[in-house]
Every structure is written in structure tokens, then in C-alpha cells.
């Protein structure tokens, strides 16, 4: 005698389909766990009150998004937090203790001792609580742009211990603060933290002063990102076309206040539409 086949109830089937389709979004919302060690736990415990104070001082929500901006001259790393209107406010800046001795310009080759310039993103899984340089995170070099241009190198970090052959080295105390802020962002659901690295503040005057540099053509592709952020205080959507950085269109249509070189501002902000 044949057994009657059992067909799952329709509501259960629909629920299973919904959960399967929604799983990526649910995981993105939940964020990812930051790896931990006794060293990183102690650093976070020491600095979490500082993070709370910074967010409160700048009217940033507890689950705000974080953005990291780096310049090589002066050697400085600054952290910014998104506010309710979508603009970013600077939370704090720190001096970079040491960068690669290769000077300004993009990193092109393993061992050139040049710290990268460009647009990178950090995810929770590349946070390293067991670093030989106190604490660290990998900035993501080489990114798509770097790979398309044949650049080589790896393991470019922001780390402690103030020693660098191409990384961005901080003092251990500063690295503790940066780690705590990054961990808070990931714990609150941010899936990646943008890290934008420039040779210097890319103003009209600074660009004119470096016009004869071999890297000037590359720097012209970075400048729209700087100008956009300076004008809007919103993180630019930088994409790669024909092996070069270009400013992609922004989904944000809110009005902006512009400042600086009006002609370049107009050209850059046109990409928002």
C-alpha cells in the first residue's frame, strides 16, 4: 500500500522563501562581529566612554556611520560621523606617527615603502586584535583601481607601534581610540567603513603648487572626491572607469552649500544629478 505523500503547508513554504530572500539584508543590518583578543577588549573598555562622549558632543546617533579621512601631508587621520541630515561631522583627528618613507604619490609596487592614496573600505573581518603592531586593520590595498593598474603590495594597515614601511602607523594609545570607534561602528551595524586617503588637502592652491609632480595626473582623479566632501560633507561615491577614479552619481539630492574653487565645485556637484 502506497503512503500518502505529504505536501508542506503553503504558509510554511512561503515563510521559508521569505527568510531565504531576506537573509542577506538581515545579516547586513546586524553587522559583523569584530575579532577580539584580551588586548582589544581592554582597549575598547578603556576608550568606549571616549567614543560615547564624541558621538554625544557632535549630536551623532549611537548607530551612526563612520568615515575615515587621511592626508599624508600633514600626516593626519580624522574620524567623521554621519548626522541626521546625512552630512558628516568631524569627531576627532590624530597625528599619524609614521607613514612610508617613499613620499607622496600612489603605491605601485611591493617594497616601494610608499603609503597608498585612493579610496578604500574596511570590513569587520580585517580588524586584527592579535597584530604584531599592537592593534591593526587592513585598509584593503590593492583595491579594484590598484589591481587594474597592475599595482602590487599587500597587508597595508593602520596599526600601532609607530613604525612603518608603507603602512599608517599610530602610537598605541591613538590606535586604541581608533579601534574603539571602528568597533562601535561595526557593532552598531555598519558593514564597511570608508577610508579615503589623499596626499594633501586637494585645494586649488595645493594642486597648483604640485603641478610639476609626476603623480599630478593621478592626483587630478582624486581631487573630485576631496572637493565633493569638502563642499557637501557627504562621502563621495568614487568608482573606477578606464583604470581611473571618477566621481559616481550620488543618490542624495539634498541641497548643498559649496565653497572653494567655484568652477571645479560646479563640475563635481553636477555628478550628483
Indicate which residue of 97, 134, 145, 167 is catalytic: 167
| 145 catalytic per annotation | no
| 196 catalytic per annotation | no
DSSP-derived 3-state class of residue 98: strand
Residues ≥6 apart with Cβ < 8 Å to 50: 177, 180
Q: Which H or E element spans position 197?
A: strand 193-198
CA–centroid distance for 118 within its chain: 10
33/47 Cα distance (integer angstroms):
18
109: its cell numbers: 609596487
Indicate which residue of 134, 145, 159, 196 is catalytic: 159
109 and 152 Cβ atoms separated by less than 8 Å? yes
φ and ψ at 199, to 5 degrees? -70, -35
Q: Give per-residue burial for 41-61: e unless 16+ CB within 10 Å, then b.
A: eebbeebeeebeebbeebebe
DSSP-derived 3-state class of residue 53: helix
Catalytic residues: 159, 167
Amino acid at each position: 500500500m502506497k503512503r500518502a505523500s505529504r505536501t508542506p503547508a503553503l504558509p510554511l513554504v512561503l515563510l521559508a522563501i521569505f527568510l531565504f530572500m531576506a537573509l542577506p539584508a538581515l545579516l547586513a543590518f546586524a553587522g559583523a562581529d569584530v575579532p577580539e583578543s584580551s588586548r582589544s577588549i581592554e582597549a575598547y573598555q578603556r576608550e568606549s566612554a571616549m567614543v560615547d562622549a564624541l558621538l554625544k558632543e557632535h549630536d551623532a546617533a549611537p548607530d551612526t556611520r563612520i568615515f575615515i579621512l587621511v592626508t599624508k601631508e600633514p600626516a593626519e587621520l580624522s574620524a567623521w560621523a554621519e548626522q541626521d541630515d546625512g552630512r558628516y561631522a568631524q569627531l576627532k583627528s590624530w597625528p599619524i606617527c609614521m607613514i612610508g618613507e617613499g613620499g607622496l604619490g600612489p603605491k605601485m609596487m611591493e617594497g616601494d615603502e610608499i603609503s597608498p592614496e585612493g579610496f578604500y573600505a574596511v570590513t569587520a573581518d580585517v580588524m586584527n586584535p592579535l597584530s604584531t603592531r599592537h592593534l591593526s586593520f587592513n585598509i584593503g590595498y590593492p583595491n579594484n583601481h590598484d589591481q587594474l593598474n597592475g599595482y602590487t603590495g599587500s597587508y597595508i594597515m593602520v596599526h600601532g607601534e609607530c613604525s612603518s614601511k608603507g603602512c599608517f602607523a599610530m602610537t598605541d594609545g591613538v590606535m586604541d581610540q581608533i579601534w574603539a570607534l571602528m568597533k562601535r561602528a561595526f557593532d552598531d551595524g555598519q558593514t564597511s567603513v570608508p577610508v579615503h586617503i589623499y596626499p594633501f588637502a586637494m585645494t586649488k592652491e595645493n594642486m597648483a603648487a604640485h603641478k610639476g609632480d609626476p603623480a599630478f595626473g593621478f592626483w587630478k582623479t582624486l581631487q573630485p572626491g576631496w572637493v565633493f566632501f569638502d563642499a557637501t560633507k557627504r562621502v563621495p561615491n568614487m568608482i573606477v572607469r578606464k583604470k581611473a577614479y571618477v566621481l559616481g552619481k550620488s543618490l542624495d539630492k539634498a541641497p548643498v552649500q559649496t565653497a572653494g574653487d567655484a568652477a571645479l565645485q560646479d563640475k563635481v556637484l553636477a555628478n550628483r544629478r
